[in-house]
Chain A
Amino acid sequence: MNNSIRLIGVMPRLLAIESVTSMVVCLLIAVASGHGRIAAQEVTSQGITSQGITSQGITAQIDQRIALGYSKASIVPAENCTDEQFIRRLYLDIAGRIPTLGERESFLLDQSGSKRLEWIDRLLASEDYVENFADTFDTLLMGRATRGKIGERKNHWRPYLEEVFRSNRPWDQVAREILLARPQSPEQSGAVWFLYERNDNAQAIAEAVAPAFFGIRIDCAQCHDHMVATEIHQEHYWGLVAFFNRSKNTKTNAGPRLSESAIGGFSDFANIYGSSYPNLLTFYESKTIDEPRPEKDAKQEDSQELYVPAADPADPRIPKFSRREKFVEEILNGHPRFAKAFVNRIWAMLMGRGIVHPYDQMDSVHPPSDAELLDGLAKEFVDSGYNIRGLVRGILASRPYQLGSLRPAGAEDPSRFAWALERPLTAEQLGRSLQIALFQKADEDHACIGDLRDRMPEVLPETVVTDVGDALFLTNNPNVQQMILEASKQDALVGRLASREEPRDAIDEMFLAILGRSAEESESQAVLEFVQARLANRPLAERISVWQSAVWAVLTSAEFRFNH
């Protein structure tokens, strides 16, 4: 036995509370269902949800299934989070930033018995939600744009994505618009960009479509059947490629479009063992679409008869046998993974990890922590008409979303969702929150957002790892430093703190503005010592530099970096 390898399994510490479990569960279910019922009534009576959202079914399912999970694993979940914790978490998740001092205050003073649900709806109706979800989905669906490509996306893709969330377009419709890529109206025009940016690279398209719409990664199956997730076959990879390999980027007067040929795109793929197979139109957990295959080496004749003109004469002609259309109609439509993949991803965004983790590898190697929950939520989602906002709302209203973030003793397994999992803020969330903390307003184009995108590109990371480069960036990057210097103006945070007579007042304001809570005594004392030793008999300019340092220290503390 080698005792110097530094990997030692940690045995889960289970609490022996079998006997009390059933009681706890009953209690939880009672609380959960009651919560959902009240919520639904309140909302409909106030008319906040104009979309006829039916999220209580989702909430109820979550509360019930998760509570059952606690009971099975004999876990007592964390306490409910406080309003202070809730409002920060909610703003980060939905608005993509921390709340301003005013927003926070207004929530805390709100006397309504169902204020959490009301504020959920308020935020879901905001432009901040639109921006935030567009940010996240942009990265999830497209990957981070190089700085050169950000502009192109802004022109084409981004307005579409924002409209999806603003008008709460059903997800199945969105997927169809994106993958069929034949916009019927100017608002849909940007949908083509998902395919268009991949620049006629059908393999890149296939490798993006699989995780984006089906929650699986098929990259490994390019050369051979997936070695680990053995149900993912090489034919699935090349089949998915084939659905898109007749498509071609085309510039039209109406903007970028994807034309499609009626012929070609037949080939054989070889596996590493030397055998080769035709690339039939097929996909994972789906059928094979019939398509006449020309004899090997036979030349296919292209002719106008194989096409129909598009409704808009500016658009490319449409092949009578369209592979993209076949994919959308016969593979995507009703695919058993489609709704689950979306539900799991939204869950991962809001809960810190998917019911299947990682959220985009929903294969046999990564079973769901609760298959019934995933199935149930997917069914609710389908039944709701793929209502995105409804799904989000249902999760936000649930008990596990609103738990405290302190891991309770005895709970080891994060897949039980017995406490609110910490998640690093995305680059955009962090960039906006830094601005809110310092200036009480956030500019989408602030340089810090681009810097953070470069430095911390990940969204929904599989594991939370802080690179020493991130720490160096926050410690020494001149632009970060510059932001804090800018906050020294009178109406910004550092300026306001420096002008306070009483350091303790300043410390309170600093904690509220940055962390959304008051300082504890030990914290307050520490900061006080720090500033007092430096403020004594100093001119104003130097007082400012002391507060710059204090503000930096709070902004770069772990508490600010994570959503919890």
Chain B
Amino acid sequence: MVRREDCGSPEHQAHRRLFLQGSMAAGVASVASFNGLFSIPTLAQETKKRGKKCILLWLCGAPSQFETWDPKPGTITGGPFGSIATSLPGIRISSLMPRCATIMDKLGVIRSMSTEPSEHFQGIDVLTRGEAPRPPFTRPILGSVVAERLGQLDSPVPQFVLLDPCPEGNEFKSFKAGNWAGWLGAEYGPVRSGGEYAIADILRPESIDGVDHEDREALRSFLSRKYQNDQRSQAAAGYNAAFDRVRGLMSCAPLFDLDTLPVADRERYGPGAFAQHALQARHLIENGSTFVMVANGMPWDNHVFQHEMHQMLVPEMDNVLFQLVTDLEQRGMLEDTLVIAMGEFGRTPWLNEARGRDHYSKAWSMAMAGGGIRGGVVVGGTDPMGFEVTDNAIDNRRLFATIFKALGIDAKEQYDLPDLPTFHRVEGNVQPIEELLIG
């Protein structure tokens, strides 16, 4: 079915109410005087509030569990790559992941993911929102939930950032704010960047100097807010709110400029777009973002050339995850920063005729670290050929319950949505995976 954000969705109405509320509040305060508006102080140093944050390495397209966390060397399903020992006695992972092998004691790995959908769009929905869609209601994506719960809305730094230079094909390209944030409201949608999808017009035009640029905005704001108040205008309130974010976003422009990052760091993470944006994600988190989702289209969907592509993709992911976890730990941030590396499902034990592996959601793997996740834990297992989960099957709900608990967000909480059915943050009253959680 074609996704339409306006497929009868009441989110718009809910959003309108929000505007009403906002504009009425604004209506009380009047802009009494214009004096003193011009000397905008430089932005107060962002207080790096101690709170949980999250980086989602979104391995879109779905990586193979056999070439990552659940190798089956010596079997016919295992593929050509071997396995290697890790820092966890008795635990072996793919030989394509030598770096993560050294930090397995810091990672929490689930080898028994077992979910329903085995097509991308449905899988993406379930693994980024935690639940299958129930049209016409749009459940907010993980990043929007985390930004809403843990973010600082008044921060100039975008709280939810998507770094994806290749959104074509993974359905994100056509996403509007409502597709991301669903019933939470458009303001919890991500700021997007990456490659040619860099934030447009974030730099001041050269023909105007910095002071003039700020002062003219102050004048604009005064006039525009006067109109907003005089007219009690919801539309103007939204319009002015967007302008209010401009200066903050502009002040963040360097955060979105890969060239400002130290060369040594950039080399350490690796040259590919995904690796560079993972480094940028760390940088954004360090500077006040709450949730950063790093994707690169859907390169993992290797129906064709499985081993030819995974030989490149897995080592990059291995290094990125290693560097992120190590960096965060060195900076004392790992405890508060959850790193998740997963796709929307796994891949078939058998190879198809195009040297590929196809979609497989019955038994697959993912990994997490930091932010309340206990390292050195491997949850569940599969049979010797990787066909079925043999131990402790984990579905999307339990995974999300675990992620939310790690972040200190109540998974059982109800969304209080006027005129909508009752929704919980995680449906089904499921339990988180306690063995993966610290404390």
Contact = CB atoms under 8 A, between A and B. Distances in A.
Contact of B245 (A1, A10, A222, A471): A471
Interface in A1-56: 1-10
Contact of B239 (A224, A473, A561): A561
Most chain A beta carbons < 10 A, residue from B17, B184, B219, B417:
B219
Contacts of A522: 34, 226
A492 interface: no
Contacts of A3: 416
Given A476-B204, A550-B216, A552-B216, A465 B231 contact: no
B226 A523 contact: yes
Contact of A557 (B224, B232, B235, B238): B224
Interface string B217-234: 101101110111011111
Contact of A559 (B12, B38, B207, B227): B227
A5 B239 contact: no
B434 interface: no
Nearest to A531: B219
B17 A9 contact: yes
A541 interface: no
Contact of B185 (A6, A366, A466, A526): A6
Contacts of A471: 239, 242-243, 245-246
B215 A7 contact: no
Interface string B176-202: 010000011110000100000001111
A5 B241 CA distance: 20
A229 B201 contact: no
Contact of A406 (B206, B232, B238, B415): B232
Given A475-B201, A526-B222, A557-B227, A219 B243 contact: no
B18 interface: yes
User: What class of interface size applies to chain A in its complex with B?
Assistant: 35 or more
Contact of A228 (B136, B208, B245): B136
User: What class of interface size applies to chain B in its complex with A?
Assistant: 35 or more
A371 B16 CA distance: 24
Nearest to A481: B205
Given A477-B201, A526-B222, A2 B136 contact: no
A530 B245 contact: no
A227 B133 CA distance: 13
A438 to B, nearest CB: 16
Given A463-B15, A463-B16, A227 B2 contact: no
A470 B245 CA distance: 11
A155 interface: no
A558 interface: yes
Interface string A493-524: 00000000000000000000000000000110
Contact of A2 (B2, B16, B241, B413): B413
A389 interface: no
B199 A530 contact: no
A158 B200 CA distance: 31
A108 to B, nearest CB: 21
Contacts of A250: none
Contact of B242 (A467, A525, A553): A467
B226 A462 contact: no
A407 interface: yes
A386 to B, nearest CB: 28
B14 A223 contact: no
A556 B34 contact: no
B332 interface: no
A462 B17 CA distance: 14
Given A553-B219, A558-B224, A422 B233 contact: yes
A473 B203 CA distance: 10
Contact of B7 (A2, A220, A476, A550): A220
A7 B183 contact: yes
B148 interface: yes
A549 B212 contact: yes
A345 interface: no
Contact of B235 (A1, A8, A358, A424): A424
A554 interface: yes
Contacts of B208: 481, 545, 548-549
A369 interface: no
A253 to B, nearest CB: 38
Contacts of A229: 8
Contact of B205 (A227, A412, A464, A478): A478
A330 B220 CA distance: 56
B2 A220 contact: yes
Given A228-B8, A472-B199, A476-B204, A558 B235 contact: yes
B6 interface: yes
A234 to B, nearest CB: 11
B20 interface: yes
Contacts of A219: 1-2, 4
B7 A559 contact: no
Interface string B236-254: 1011111101100110000
A6 B18 contact: yes
Interface string B8-24: 10001011111011001
A508 to B, nearest CB: 15
B135 interface: yes
A409 to B, nearest CB: 9
A466 B1 contact: no
A246 interface: no
A422 B236 contact: yes
A261 B17 CA distance: 52
A543 interface: no
A485 interface: yes
A13 to B, nearest CB: 10
B240 A465 contact: no
B417 A227 contact: no
Contacts of A561: 236, 239
Contact of A10 (B17, B201, B216, B228): B17
A548 B208 CA distance: 10
Given A465-B238, A469-B200, 20 more contacts: A7-B14, A8-B416, A219-B1, A220-B4, A227-B136, A406-B231, A412-B20, A462-B6, A465-B186, A471-B239, A472-B200, A472-B201, A476-B204, A477-B201, A478-B206, A481-B207, A485-B207, A553-B220, A557-B227, A558-B240
Closest 8 CB pairs of A and B: A558-B236, A549-B216, A9-B418, A553-B220, A553-B219, A557-B224, A476-B201, A471-B242
Interface of B: 1-2, 4, 6-8, 12, 14-18, 20-21, 24, 34-35, 38, 135-136, 148-149, 177, 183-186, 191, 199-208, 212-213, 215-217, 219-220, 222-224, 226-228, 230-236, 238-243, 245-246, 249-250, 413-419
26 contacts: A5-B416, A7-B417, A7-B418, A8-B17, A9-B418, A222-B2, A228-B8, A358-B6, A407-B231, A463-B15, A472-B200, A475-B217, A477-B205, A478-B205, A481-B208, A482-B207, A523-B226, A529-B34, A530-B219, A548-B208, A549-B219, A553-B220, A554-B223, A559-B224, A561-B236, A562-B236
